């Protein structure tokens, strides 16, 4: 620089990394970004490197439900859906989805799953079907996404199988119930 002062009404250009010159909103967003493990320093999406972490036993459970007409629920209960056994096919779809989560969610690590369970139950009070999954592994990262994906795809499969009877079905309430293992320890949902 020449040592001259900028003309009146103009301020110096902020230098890269000069947080004081950035608007508060930008500073706040950048601070939040630094806390997200899947976001690099420049704000770009990235996969977290878990290579230095030791493999540990991890487990996660998730739930969700699909609301439908009483007629659709009765057709499923009576095995009157033309595509076949809705609950059996949805269960297999959920298990398959858990195993393929890294193919569906871009920043998930592919994990060697040791167990995947998907349970579906008819609930006349909804009316609809409740789904719950339990997924286990011994790995360097958790299986929360696999549990959530299993429930989501199982419920979407129910929709696909029964849409000829009820196109107004609603998938809802998909959430993590519990996760164990890893550095962050145990999490349990509060009702």
pLDDT tens digit at each of 191 positions of the chain? 455 555 555 444 544 555 555 566 655 555 554 565 556 666 666 566 555 567 899 999 999 999 999 999 999 999 999 999 999 999 999 999 999 999 999 888 899 999 999 999 999 999 999 999 999 999 988 899 999 999 999 999 999 999 999 999 999 999 999 999 988 889 999 98
Report strand pairing: 187-188 vs 56-67: unpaired
Distance in angstroms (rounded) separating the CA atoms of residues 161 and 172: 17
pLDDT of the residue at 25: 61
Question: Hey, where are the domains in the chain?
Answer: 22-49, 56-188
Task: Provide the pLDDT for residue 54.
Answer: 78
What's the CATH code, domain 56-188?
3.30.70.640
How crowded is the C-beta side of 128, counted as CA atoms within 13 Å? Answer: 19
The structure tokens listed for 159 are 């929709």
Residue 33: its pLDDT value, please? 45
State the Cα–Cα distance between residues 72 and 66, nearest whole angstrom.
11
Please give the C-alpha separations between residue 24 and each of 11, 15, 19, 20, 32, in angstroms, as whole numbers.
17, 16, 9, 9, 12
Cα separation of 128 and 35, whole Å?
Answer: 39
Query: Would you please indicate which residues are annotated as catalytic (active-site) residues?
Result: 160
What is the reported pLDDT for 166? 98
Cα(29)–Cα(98) distance, integer angstroms: 33
């Amino acid at each position: 620089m020449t040592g001259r002062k900028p003309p009146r009404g103009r301020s110096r250009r902020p230098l890269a990394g000069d947080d004081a010159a950035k608007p508060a909103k930008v500073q706040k967003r950048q601070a939040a970004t630094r806390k997200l493990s899947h976001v690099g320093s420049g704000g770009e999406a990235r996969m977290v490197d878990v290579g230095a972490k030791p493999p540990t036993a991890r487990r996660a459970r998730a739930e969700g439900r699909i609301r439908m007409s009483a007629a659709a629920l009765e057709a499923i209960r009576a095995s009157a859906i033309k595509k076949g056994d809705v609950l059996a096919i949805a269960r297999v779809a959920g298990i398959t989805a858990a195993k393929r989560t890294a193919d569906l969610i871009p920043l998930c690590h592919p994990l060697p799953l040791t167990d995947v369970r998907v349970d579906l139950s008819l609930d006349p009070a909804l009316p609809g079907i409740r789904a719950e999954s339990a997924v286990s592994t011994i790995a360097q990262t958790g299986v929360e996404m696999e549990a959530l994906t299993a429930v989501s795809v199982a419920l979407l499969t129910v929709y696909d199988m029964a849409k000829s009877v009820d196109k107004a079905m609603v998938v809802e309430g998909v959430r993590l119930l519990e996760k164990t293992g890893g550095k962050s320890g145990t999490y349990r949902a509060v009702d």
